[in-house]
Structure 1
Amino acid sequence: MSSTQNNLFTIHFWGVRGSIACPGPETVRYGGNTPCVEMRVGGERLIFDGGTGLRVLGQSLLSQMPVEASIFFTHSHWDHIQGFPFFIPAFLKGNRFNIYGAIAPNGSTIKERLTDQMLDPNFPVPLRVMQADLRFNELEIGKPVQIGEIIIENALLNHPGEAVGYRINWRGYSAAYITDTEHRPEGLDPNVLKLAQNADVMIYDATYTNDEYYSSATPKQGWGHSTWEEAVKVAKAANVKKLAIFHHEPLHNDDFLDRVGDEASVHFRNTIMAREGLSISLIESNGVNSVPLPQEDQVFV
């Protein structure tokens, strides 16, 4: 690892959709892969969630072997784990992955849940075929994880079956990864505010608009997701520097998301719309850059 990389805190988006992957001509600019966010922090590689975006991240890592990373799961709904069986670096000896997840309400561990989705007849290749050094860790709610100088805090979110939000702290910089969560009618969620407080970047589940969430015909209350309007409220209340709207509804095409971004920016100026290929640097300029994703002809299957 170069000395330059040891002094970086960058965030890369590999999958930004919620619920189900939605590739197609109307989702080209923002992408159709489900959640996967990579952070390079002080020379360490942290990966948050293993949606279908993890498959694309895995392709990019093939030129960087051997790979070591820590993977943190928010929960194990399909859109957050379906990329794991297609994460090629996990099948290759010499790589190492420390995997973190909380115990589910039914008592199952993250290892058991990732194993179960790869069992016959649902998947042809079992997890035990993976040749990388996979080290599974049970995440304790409220207990930080330390990796070198990095402190990763966590808190429960308001989501059916539970989900965990994260805050990554390093040398005075911080990023909050808050998905999947539904705002509370009684006011802002104290767990969300704690994770987001004074963060340089807050990545927030803004699946719906208020009109959709409160629709009289097809209301979304109880579905476990929030709105961009609530994201703005949290960003202001928590004194967040940059808001990244995330976990886009699969029915929201590129033009729709453009409009959401424009409107959200009116209410919170430093708002960006998460999209595949987007890279954010917290240190060099606090700017936003776009990095190209691997070409499809480079995919190994």
Structure 2
Amino acid sequence: MSNDLFQVKFWGVRGSIPVSGPEFDHYGGNTSCIEIRCGDHRMIFDAGSGLREAGLAMINEGVMDVDLFFTHCHYDHIIGLPFFKAIYYPSINVDIWSGHLDGKMSTKEMVNQFISPPWFPVKTDICQATMNFRDFHAGDTLSPRDGIRIKTYMLNHPGGAIGYRIEWGGRVVALVFDVEHVPGAYDPVCLELMKDADLAIYDCTYNEDEMQRFKGFGHSTWQHGTELAKMAGTKRFALFHHAPSRTDTQLGQMEKDAQAAFPGAFAARDNQVVEV
């Protein structure tokens, strides 16, 4: 593996709830989970249902050390955690990071409450991996490994969500989800996150004509996201957090419409790999 590798793999691209069926085969049905490789190091962002497959792949590849970052802990972003095989292996080290509940609940408390009865049959004491819990404040800059710099931001989402700007080897990936935009306004936080990014991954749950019905749900649109990308000088733009009802045909049309507005746009799909 090249030491300057900067690679993104989408293990889950849906929002709200996993889906299955032939109408979702191309883009996939797993919820939010993104693997980012910086050189030899692996990081996972969000523990949606895609985390199960990500964990199996890591075990098969002999990965011994991984950082797991939460944007927030709504069900679709955390449901895969108890099925992340790595946490049951004594030889593996997992650093788990969160900042969205800063001052309300620690990362360790969040995980211990989620993996416990009555929500799950067993408690985290069954986990044999070394799990290190890392709390941070939105606005902190994190350095999980040498050369990796991660800037953190609080996004406009019910209960809070963290946006991450990952900087490695002179390149940038921006994770901008979950977030709701205000019509007619361009959030300076999102613009700062996305500024000159090589890749921005953005919450595109809705179309603009759907936003009024879902005001307050905490999500955005590809139309607004591509406008932000143009303003921020972003190079590539990934539509992410697809609505669970959005079929392959509908997402394909959404992708074409987004590309007409911003040529560097694409709709993320399960198992897709992007070199940064």
TM-score by length of 1: 0.89
Query: 1:30 — aligned with what?
Result: 27
Equivalence for 1:293: none
Q: Which residue of 2 aligns with 1:209?
A: 207
Aligned to 1:107: 104
Q: Is the 8 A contact 2:102 2:136 kept in 1?
A: no
Q: Contact between 1:103 and 1:138, CA under 8 Å: does it hold in 2?
A: no
Deviating 4+ runs (over 6 angstroms): none
Partner of 1:169: 167
How far did 1:64 drift? 2.2
Whole-Å separation in 1 of the counterparts to 2:67 and 2:17: 24
Given that 2:31 and 2:77 are in contact with CA atoms closer than 8 Å, whether structure 1 keeps it comes out as yes
Distance 1:18 1:105 in 2: 23
Give me the whole-angstrom Cα distance separating, in 2, the residues matched to 1:276 and 1:55: 13
User: 1:46-79 deviations in whole A, cap 9, x for unaligned?
Assistant: 1100000000101111212242111110000000
Matching residue of 2:186: 188
Kept in 2, the 8 Å contact 1:103–1:110? The answer is no
**Alpha-carbon contact 1:66-1:94 (below 8 Å) kept:** no
Distance 2:270 2:69 in 1: 19
Distance in 1, Cα, partners of 2:190 & 2:72: 16
Which residue number in structure 2 is paired with residue 231 of structure 1? 225
Q: Map of 1:148-167 to 2, 5 A cutoff?
A: 148-167=146-165
**Contact 1:205–1:225 (Cα < 8 Å) also in 2:** yes
Whether 1:244 and 2:238 are equivalent positions in the alignment is yes
Query: Match for residue 253 of structure 1?
Result: 247
The 5 A counterparts of 1:92-131 are: 92-104=89-101, 107-131=104-128
Report the alpha carbon displacement of residue 156 of structure 1 after superposing the two structures with TM. Answer: 0.4
Structure 2: distance between partners of 1:238 and 1:86: 37
Question: Are 1:40 and 2:37 counterparts?
Answer: yes
8 Å contact kept, 1:81–1:114: no
Q: Which residue of 2 aligns with 1:278?
A: 272
Partner of 1:197: 195
Aligned match of 1:87 in 84, 89, 92? 84
Deviation at 1:151, TM superposition (A): 0.3
Provide the rounded CA distance (Å) in 1 between the counterparts of 2:86 and 2:55.
6
Q: Structure 1 counterpart of 2:136, which letter?
A: L
- Cα gap change, 1:187 to 1:194, in 2 (>3 Å): same
Partner of 2:60: 63
Partners of 2:109 and 2:139 in 1: CA distance: 22
CA RMSD of aligned residues (A): 1.2
Secondary structure at 1:266's aligned position in 2? helix
On the 8 A contact 2:11/2:35 being kept in 1, the answer is yes
2:70 equivalent among 54, 68, 73: 73
| Structure 1: tracts of 5 or more residues without a match | 283-301
Please, which moves more after superposition, 62-71 or 225-234? Answer: 62-71
Paired with 1:140 and 1:38, the residues of 2 have a C-alpha distance of: 22
Q: Which ranges of structure 2 fall in alignment gaps of 5 or more residues?
A: none
Task: State how many pairs are aligned.
Answer: 275
3-state SS of paired residue (2:68): strand
Alpha-carbon separation, structure 2, partners of 1:27 and 1:66: 30
Conservation of the 8 A alpha-carbon contact between 2:175 and 2:201: yes
Q: Is the 8 A contact 1:65 1:95 kept in 2?
A: no
Aligned partner of 2:28: which letter? Answer: G
Quote the offset at 1:105 in angstroms.
6.4
Aligned counterparts of 2:38 and 2:119: Cα–Cα separation in 1: 36
My pick for the range that moved more, 18-27 or 159-168, is: 18-27
Q: Is the CA contact (8 Å cut-off) linking 2:71 and 2:100 kept in structure 1? A: no
Change in Cα spacing, 1:103 to 1:258, as seen in structure 2 (3 Å) is closer
Cα separation, 2, equivalents of 1:10 and 1:63? 19
Q: Which moved more, 1:95-104 or 1:6-15?
A: 95-104
Separation (CA, whole Å) in 1 of partners of 2:176 and 2:126:
32
Aligned AA (2:204):
A
Equivalent residue for 2:8?
11
Distance 1:103 1:160, change over 3 A: closer
Cα separation, 1, equivalents of 2:18 and 2:106: 25
Q: Percent identity?
A: 39
CA distance in 1, matches of 2:58, 2:216: 38
